[in-house]
Every structure is written in C-alpha cells, then in structure tokens.
Structure 1
Amino acid sequence: MKLTVEISKYPLQENYIDAIRGFIDELATYDKVHVITNTLSTQLFGDYDEVMAALQACIRWSFEKYGKVVFVCKFLHGDLRPE
C-alpha cells in the first residue's frame, strides 16, 4: 500500500531553523522514502511501512536531539506525488 504524509514541524526553541533542517536531513537518509520540502511543510511518499518506519524513527530522533517539538501531520492513502 502506498502512503502520502504531509508534516509540519514547530520546534519550541529559538534556534528553530536548525531543528527543522535536521529533521529533513534525517528523513533524507531513508532512500525508499521520497521527500519533497517547501516553505510550509514536508511531504513524504512511498510504501506505507517504509514511510511510517522513517517517520517514527525521525520523530523520535528529533525529540531526543531537540526536546519539545510540535508535529502536525496529514496522512493520505496512495502516492499523491506531483507529476
């Protein structure tokens, strides 16, 4: 099954840009998950299990590295990657 996730991260700290970039860079280490970023959010595309595993690991990593962070996610069935 394919999955699309739109995620926004809101670090609760002054140096928020490094926390956001770090999270995106960590997601990019998962070669089976396609990542697209823009100024408002990051989109993930791929196999359900692979996307969820990457997301779970990266959220945990982010909490451990940066502390308090708010994540807002939308999950959509299918690969809705723009053509």
Structure 2
Amino acid sequence: MELSVELSFYPLQDQYKKPILAFIERLKQELSIEVIPNRMSTQLFGEYDQVMSALSRLMKNSFEQYGTAVFVAKFINSDRRPKG
C-alpha cells in the first residue's frame, strides 16, 4: 500500500532550525522514500511499511537527540505525489 504523509516537526528549543534541517536530511537518506520539503512541512511518499519504519526510527532519534518536540502529521493511504 502506498502512503503519503505531510509532516511538521517542532523542536521545543530556541535553536529550532538545526534539528529540523537535520531531521529532513536524515529522511532524505532513506532511499525508499521520496521527500519533498517546503517552508511549512515535509511531504513523504512511499510504501506504507517503509515510511512508517523510517518515521518511527527517526522520530525516536530526534526525541533522544533534541529533547522535547512536537510532530504533527497527516496520513493518506494513497500516492498523492504532485504530478508533472
């Protein structure tokens, strides 16, 4: 099953940009997931199990590395990649 995710990451610290950019870079290293960042969120596309496994692992890593943070996500069980 294909999955599309819109994800926002809010580290609860004054220097919030570095953790966000590092998280996006780690997502981009997941070869089985297409990652499209923008100014408000990051979109992820791929096979359900691969996307969810990567999110679980990388979110846990972010909590351990940066402390308290908020992740907000929307999940759609289809491929909603922009066409064109």
- Superposed pair shares fold, TM > 0.5: yes
Percent of paired sites with the same residue: 51
Number of residue pairs the alignment of both structures matches: 83
| Aligned position for 1:41 | 41
How does the TM-score come out when normalised to structure 2?
Answer: 0.96
Indicate the residue corresponding to 1:64 in structure 2: 64
User: What's the C-alpha RMSD, in Å, of the aligned pairs?
Assistant: 0.5
TM-score by length of 1: 0.97
Could you list the structure 1 runs, at least 4 aligned residues long, displaced by more than 2 angstroms after superposition. Answer: none
Q: CA separation in 1, counterparts of 2:26 and 2:14? A: 20
Structure 1 residue 29, shift from structure 2 partner? 1.2
Distance 2:67 2:27 in 1: 18
Q: CA deviation at 1:36?
A: 0.2
Gapped runs of 5+ residues in structure 2?
none
Distance in structure 2 (CA, Å) of the matches to 1:26 and 1:79:
22
Cα distance in 2 between the residues matched to 1:65 and 1:28: 18
Which residue does the alignment assign to 1:13? 13
User: In the alignment, what sits opposite 2:81?
Assistant: 81
Specify every segment of 5 or more residues in structure 1 that has no aligned partner in the other structure, as ranges.
none
SS at match of 1:45: strand
